[in-house]
Amino acid sequence: MIHGAAGLRPTFLVIGAYKAGTTSIHHYLKQHPQVFMSQRKEIRFLTYAGHERLPLSPVEFASLPWPVQTLPAYEALFAEAMETQDRGDVSPSYLEYAEQSIIGIRAFVPEAKLIAILRQPADRAYSNHLFHVRVEQEEELEFRSVLRFEAEGRVRRVNGLPRANIARGFYYEALQCYFQAFPREKIRVWLYEDLRADAAGLMRKIFRFLAVDETFTPDVSIRYNAAQWPRLPIPPTATKRLRRLVGPFMRLLSKDLHRSASKHYRTL
């Protein structure tokens, strides 16, 4: 565990999820005069703080690009903020590695408010796959084959981390860790579809949760990290392996978030 004297630290965290609009949220929050966002996104320091429990070998862990590894370096990211400003850290690893990240959150920012933006996990998995193929120019494998390899434990590793299309979609289990670790009133969960349908409206809700001026209207005309290719349907050959993601997600919507699944999502 990492220790150090207290300085300016985040007052809220956007914990995920990957490919669910967190980059856009980061830029929209950054425009608010009462909010200070770290210039670096995906800091991952609070995941690093619990790294003893990450499911990685020492060699894998050492090969990872951890941008911030000390508490002074973490606090330095917020040194230019005014004490009266809310301060935010957007790191989707906090949802993907929930148990490990909670260790760091409890140690260093236990009072921070927590925000999660979720995306239908089957759609998120396919979007993630297309991103790696078309942007990062990874070897183009059939999506069904990628899912089969992952199910068999033959997951490709990039920078030491597994390229896990399915594992990143088990929001239910990850959020249960947060619901058990922190008061529910400190956690808000919204959907990627909320962002797509009414970005300005979603930002008002986020500002209200943070207790900053919700009448401020950010420029939401730009969608950051948006795909530059046509939105393609999930290949029918891959749907069977993705069904096990959708069921728990639908239960999360109805049971924990009190949202209507039929309004936002089709079943596979």
pLDDT at res. 148: 64
pLDDT at res. 159: 52
Give the chain's residues under pLDDT 70: 1-6, 122-170, 225-246, 261-268
Quick one: how far is CA 183 from the chain centroid? 19
Which amino acid appears at position 156 of this protein?
R
CATH of 12-264, one of 3.40.50.1000, 1.20.58.340, 3.40.50.300, 3.40.50.11540: 3.40.50.300
pLDDT at res. 2: 42
pLDDT at res. 157: 61
pLDDT at res. 134: 63
Which among 148, 152, 146 is positioned nearest to 130, based on CA atoms? 146
Which residues on neighbouring strands pair with residue 222, listed in sequence order?
none
Domain boundaries, the chain: 12-264
Q: Which two tokens stand for residue 63?
A: 């090969």
pLDDT at res. 3: 41
pTM of the full structure: 0.80
pLDDT at res. 205: 98
Q: How far apart are CA 141 and CA 139, in angstroms?
A: 6
Strands 157-158 and 161-162: antiparallel
